[in-house]
Structures are given as C-alpha cells and as structure tokens.
Amino acid sequence: TLQIDPKMAMAYKKLADTERLLNREKEAISAYRNAIRFGYSTAETRYWLGTLMLEGKQTEEALKILESSNALPERLRANTAFFRRHMAELGLAILPGEHPIVPVMLYDAPLAQKFSERILEEGIYVIGFFYPVVAKGNARIRVQISAAHEMEHIDKCIAAFTKVGKELGVIK
C-alpha cells in the first residue's frame, strides 16, 4: 500500500500554491522546494516566501537583518518556554517540544470548537484543529507564540485559557 507522510503532503501543497502565486524563476522555486523538504513550519514558509519575493540586493539585505542579532530568536524561545510552562502548570496536555507552535490537546472535536470560540470571545485568536485536519481523537487548540508578543499578551492568553478551561471543565 502507498504510504503518504502528511507533513510532506502539506509541504508540497504549500509549494504548489507558492509556485502558482509567485510564478518566479525556476532556480528560486528549486531552492524553495529543497528547503521545504527539511520540514514544514509556518515560520520557515514565511521566511522562504519572503526571500523569494525579493530581488537580489533586497534578499541580501533581508538576510543580513535576520542574521544580525539573536534578540528576536531568543525572545521567541523565552516567550515559548514561558507559555508552555504555564500551560503545563494548569494541567493542560501539550505536545512536547520547544517550537512556538504549541498544540494544546483537548482530544474532543466539539470541545476544541467550543474552546476556540470562547477563547476568541476573550480576545485571543487561536485555531481549533480536529478531524480531518488531525486524526480522530487528537483534537487540539493551536497556539502560535511570537517574538512580537509582549509578556502582557502572553499573560492575557494564559488568563483566557484558565478562564475558558475552567468554564468548560478542562481545568479543575
């Protein structure tokens, strides 16, 4: 039987969309295709899309800016670690890792839908994922942490998760 890696399928779909959108030189598309083979992430996709949309000198300048300081990556790591630690302290199941896309596992599709709706009412935009986007029984809330978030933003998000989690019986 044919086995398809879901991550690669998503990456190739993104690639196809990107090729149609950009309609750029074959070399740029080839570079993007080679980069995407190493894994899919929203940040990586945006990074590559951004560099592909720029021309010569602009690309060099953009890369210099990205590589000139570790401040933003360090802040992103700190923000992510802070958020993950607090979600775990609340007793919420999160998939392990250090990446800034934090899946908060709820396992139940209707619950994930209701949770994401209630969180939005609290002013926090998150996405509820459930079948067929993820396997049945693996419904989750997807939270994207950013270096642009201030600590007050992350605290507000944690407070919203606490409030809604208690309302919906996810947090005791």
**The pLDDT value given to residue 39:** 45
For the question of whether the overall pTM of this predicted structure is more than 0.75, the answer is no
Query: Looking at residue 36, what is its pLDDT?
Result: 47
Which segments of the chain have a pLDDT < 50? 1, 21-25, 36-43
- What are phi and psi for residue 93, nearest 5 degrees? -80, 125
Question: What pLDDT, on a 0 to 100 scale, did the predictor assign at position 38?
Answer: 45
Residue 61 parent element (H or E)? helix 56-67
User: What is the rounded distance in angstroms from the CA atom of residue 25 to the CA atom of residue 7?
Assistant: 25
User: What is the model's pLDDT at position 136?
Assistant: 92
Residue with tokens 């994922």: 129
Q: Can you read off the two tokens belonging to residue 80?
A: 């992510």
